[in-house]
Each structure stands twice: as structure tokens, then as C-alpha cells.
Copies of this chain bind each other. A is one copy, B any other.
Amino acid sequence: MNFIRKIVKSRPQEDIILRDELKKLLKFSPTSINKYKKAFTHRSVQMIDRKGIPINYERLEFLGDSILGAVISAYLYKEAPKGSEGYLTQMRSKIVSREHLNELGKDLNLIRFVKSNIDQANVGDNIHGNIFEALIGAIYLDKGFNFCQKFIHQNVIAPYVDIAKLEGKITSYKGLIIEWCQKQKKRYAFDAYEDSGNETTKHFSVKISIDGQQIAKGRATSKKKAEEQASKRVYFAFQNEISQD
């Protein structure tokens, strides 16, 4: 575990590796690498700049939180044209909830970049969401609003935002499928396995079979998400039968 590291001085070799890793993650080339380094620096490192100002991710987190809110608002405004102001506010809260942001940060495995003097076990779960927000702040400063928007669409909206699910109409597709199979006396199997391929982030695949026949497959950064994705596909395959139940 390389979580507990200390920066004494910036090492060019380290910067090159970080730049490469960031390029894979962000899908663009970062211009100012220092902004990202700040986004991954925990206050426990106690770094200060020449003016005595602390270098850590907390201010970037403030900025990123705000940019994220604006991007999600613009997305909801467009995608939920019938939603009232109250509805939009509620949906945004769900998407940018602390819990959800922590999950996003974990999925991107941002913790691998973090420099801290505290053991990972003691920093708490919120660090994942906090550095996710700080990363958005860094992207904003480095590349502007449109890059942030693209990054958020790719990493927040496309893989996680499902308006029907957020509305609470369906809380778990997996639960729904299991319940339906049990009621219908169908045999079902969820077959999960690691499937990272050449990617740096861990990936899982899940195959769902019903009565011995494979119906759908899902692939995501966690087993739970891959299961949900595959279950959702089963749901849409059997939608008419399930909704008649």
C-alpha cells in the first residue's frame, strides 16, 4: 500500500508517472500537473507554499463541489423537462450525496494518488468523495468548464445516473429479478468474476442465467454495479412479464 507517502520535494519521475496515470483516467492531457497534485494532497502532509499558504485539497474541494452542482443542474434541466424546481433539487441532492460521491471516488480508485501522513484506515470514507470533488476543481482550473462537464458526463452521469432509479421507482434491479424468479419458480444464477483486462481500474463482469440459459451480462468497476447493470438488462428483456406480476 503506497498510501502513506510524504512529499519532500517534487520528483520529475513521479510527475511523469502521475501525468500518464491522469491521462488514462481523464481521457485528456493535463496541462498544469501541480493543480492535480494539490487535489490529491491531504492536509496531514502539512505542505505550505512560498507565501505560507497551506497546499492541500480542501479549497479545490469547495470549488469542485460547486462546479459539479452546476453541471448536474444543467443535465437535469435538460433531461427532466417535466420536473418541477422541487423535483430537480431533490434529484440533484441524490446525485451529489456524500455517499454517492464516496462511491465515485472509490470506483476511480483516486486514493492511489493521495499523499497523506495518516493511515488510510484512519482517514474515513469521506476522503474518496472529497478528492473526487477536488479533482473536478483541478480540472476546472486547468482546462475550464467544458472539460469538467465532459469529465462529469463520462464518470458520473453516464455510468450512474438513472433517473427512474433515483426517483425510487426501482431501488434495486437485482432484488426485483430475484423476487420475480422466486415467485415464478424459475432457477436463477448470478455468476461474477474479475474482468479488468488491460485497464488500470479493477472491473467485474456478471452473467445472469435463468433456467440454465444466459440472459444478460454486465460489466462495471464493482461487483454490485455489474450485477445491477446485468439485472437491469434482464428487467428490460422480461419487462412485460415482470410488470404484469
Residues on A facing B (Cβ under 8 Å):
51, 53, 58-63, 65-67, 69-70, 72-74, 77, 81-85, 88-89, 92, 137, 140-141, 145-146
Query: Contact at B85–A62, with CB atoms within 8 Å?
Result: yes
Distance between Cα atoms of A146 and B63 in the complex (Å): 16
Give me the 6 closest cross-chain CB pairs, A-B, nearest first. A66-B73, A70-B70, A145-B145, A58-B85, A66-B70, A62-B85
Distance between Cα atoms of A67 and B51 in the complex (Å): 31
Distance between Cα atoms of A72 and B51 in the complex (Å): 24
Query: Contact at B59–A88, with CB atoms within 8 Å?
Result: yes
**Contact check: which of B89, B137, B145 meets A62 at CB < 8 Å?**
B89
Query: Contact at B53–A81, with CB atoms within 8 Å?
Result: yes
Query: Contact at B146–A74, with CB atoms within 8 Å?
Result: no
Q: How far is the CB of A150 from chain B (nearest CB, A)?
A: 13
**Contact check: which of B51, B67, B69, B84 meets A58 at CB < 8 Å?**
B84
**Contact residues in B for A82 (Cβ distance below 8 Å):** 51, 53
Q: Which of A62, A66, A73, A137 has the most CB of B within 10 A?
A: A66
A49, closest chain B residue (CB) = B81
**Contact residues in B for A137 (Cβ distance below 8 Å):** 77
A63, closest chain B residue (CB) = B77
Q: Which of A70, A82, A92 has the most CB of B within 10 A?
A: A70
Distance between Cα atoms of A70 and B129 in the complex (Å): 18
Query: Contact at B74–A140, with CB atoms within 8 Å?
Result: yes
Query: Contact at A59–B74, with CB atoms within 8 Å?
Result: no
Query: Contact at B70–A85, with CB atoms within 8 Å?
Result: no
Distance between Cα atoms of A53 and B85 in the complex (Å): 13
